[in-house]
Chain A
Amino acid sequence: MADAAAPLLRIENLSIDFQSSRGPVHALRNVSVDVPRGSIVGLVGESGSGKSTLALATMGLMQNNAVVKGGRILFDDRDLLTLNAAELRSLRGRRISMVFQDPMTALNPVLSIGRQMIDIQYRDRGNTVDKRRKAADLLRRVGIPDPEQRLGQFPNEFSGGMRQRIAIAMGLMGNPELLIADEPTTALDVTMEAQIVHLLRLLRRDFKGSILFISHNLGLIAELCDYVVILYAGEVVEHGTVQDIFHRPRHPYTEALLVCDPARIEQVSRELPTISGDVPNLLNPPSGCVFAPRCPRVFEPCRDRQPGDTALSATQTARCHLLNGGAHG
């Protein structure tokens, strides 16, 4: 066992390309993310910023056309990228689990909930009765009433929020140390969203694991997470504690994101603020700062040179030329 101070998950300089007919798409470039033990880390980014790629790479479930160009994914000091399929499989479900975005499609439609939950315990000893009891117990924990009866039901007999609870219950079945939640509330309505977040917080308290929570909903991140990582076009532009990011954002992209969050807009206005422009094409990322084409405070070095990471405090780091006076850090 590694020492307790080391983060449970440490992603170091991870770069992933997707092979496409028009050449490699640089989906992730030198991404580093730490998930300390027992914490909830929020990963924020627009669509296509590489959030899900990061999650799937950690699970070892990348699409066939993904190629790891460099970096390491250290889980409890073991590099997941060097493990073979069987070793990865033995980690999945027991030490790392994942909850997916769309609860409507995340459960097998033709098997009852009970069958699925019992089946996934195939590595555990014990008879079906025990496994069934464990499944019912987990359903109760995630707030599903009458779990014994509901085990016999099929996914289409549950609402979206219920299915996401079931998916979370299945993720927690093996008592994992790390739960990756890939936009678990995006497909749900607002009340369900709040309940799922509440549930995740309770579960974190009780199962003492870490959660990597992926979302583009800043309100949820602020409510749930301890640390926040801002991902833009496959690069980490800023990371810090939740207070750092929400009270003292330093990267222009983070600032713009916070301005654009509908929940934080105070003045009454008919128009939502937006970040003009589009996410850069990752077939051919900009040579300078990735955010330069859209940055309101862009200046001379931004378009030519990539900014380095600037440590702003013990916990907060941002990648912007503004912060180091234009000097390469």
Chain B
Amino acid sequence: MSVQASSVVPPVAVAVGAESPSTLRNVWRRLLHERLGLLGLALVALLLFTGIFADWIAPFEPNRINVPDRMQSSSLTHFAGTDQMGRDIFSRIIKGSQIALIVGVSSIAIALVLGLALGMLAGYGPRWLDNCLLLLFDTIYSFPTVMLALTVITLLGVSLKTIMLVVVVSTTPVYARLVRTSTLSLKNSEFILAERSLGAGPVRVMLRHVLPNVVGPLLIIASMDIPSVITLEAGLSFLGLGVPPPAASWGRTLNEGYNLIRDAPWIVVAAGIPLILTTLGFTFLGECLRDMLDPKLRRII
């Protein structure tokens, strides 16, 4: 087939869509114009920065016991004071952001990947597989998260990995169900049929065409789930079921501060503030992304 370009049809006027596509660059530019989104972004960036560089930023070794300096209120040496063993609270908070990041971001990331894979399999795969996976999702979904957490912790013991496992197990079905629903509706859309008519196999259809269409809303939901996971970790740590001592998670610091609240109120305050800021940061960012990428989601999420 060899057509001369000029021989074909006169050029037609080009209608450019009213909305430009939501490319990454575009989203980024719009995000910088939204005040709350920018604030959220800044807070998340701050968390990432302190989490990654915790060991360099923290002025003291977070677990170093220094009894002579115990129970100091805030000063230039100890910005957030010390606890009853003389550990520097500020350093512990900095170190705690690392734990928050590991628990929040990495467990949600694992759940996201698993949810995408299982959801697409259920939605695009054969009917029997869909039924099996759906039964599995619903079974896990029907467990209350805290009950699940307590059970798993009782069985496996208190550790960072256990908490991550709880998060992954309890959030994966939520993501997978969402992905499955979107996949089912995409599966019968004309462009998937068109791709298949051009010779695309199931794997190609799933990875190149279904995945980019479902990943957007899922990322938004995930970013709004991160703070609730961090809060869950803090809550479990507060109950003594989270990260084992002496690790400096925010929840544990809160717990320890709670016992000393009359003598050293700064501990609770210092541990509560980053928790609040992190939650706000991810929520602002997530909401802003949601409104930008898909205003229709406002009703759902």
Contacts and interface: CB of A to CB of B under 8 A. Distances in A.
Interface of A: 59, 61, 86, 89-94, 97-102, 105-111, 119-120, 122-123, 140-143, 145, 153-154, 156-159, 161-162, 167, 170-175, 192, 195, 198-199, 202-203, 206-208
B199 A174 contact: yes
Contacts of A122: 200, 204
A92 B198 CA distance: 5
A195 B9 CA distance: 7
A107 B2 CA distance: 25
Contacts of B216: 110
A156 B3 contact: no
Interface in B210-260: 212-213, 216
Interface of B: 1-3, 5, 7-17, 19-21, 23, 189-191, 193-201, 204, 208-209, 212-213, 216
Contacts, number: 128
A188 to B, nearest CB: 11
8 contacts: A97-B197, A98-B197, A106-B191, A109-B191, A109-B213, A122-B200, A192-B12, A206-B3
Nearest to A93: B199
B12 A143 contact: yes
Given A108-B213, A110-B212, A199 B190 contact: no
A284 B86 CA distance: 87
A171 B194 CA distance: 9
A178 B265 CA distance: 79
B5 to A, nearest CB: 4
Contacts of A141: 1, 3, 5, 8
A110 B216 CA distance: 10
- Among B1, B7, B208, residue most surrounded by chain A Cβ atoms (within 10 Å): B1
A207 B9 contact: no
A112 to B, nearest CB: 8
B20 to A, nearest CB: 7
A273 to B, nearest CB: 33
B208 A119 contact: yes
Contacts of A89: 199-201
A233 B264 CA distance: 85
B199 A61 contact: no
Contact of A174 (B7, B8, B198): B198
B17 A120 contact: no
B197 A175 contact: no
A113 to B, nearest CB: 11
A208 B1 contact: yes
A159 B212 contact: no
A105 B190 CA distance: 6
Given A141-B5, A199-B8, A206-B3, A107 B191 contact: yes
A27 to B, nearest CB: 17
A92 B1 contact: no
A262 to B, nearest CB: 25
A111 B200 CA distance: 15
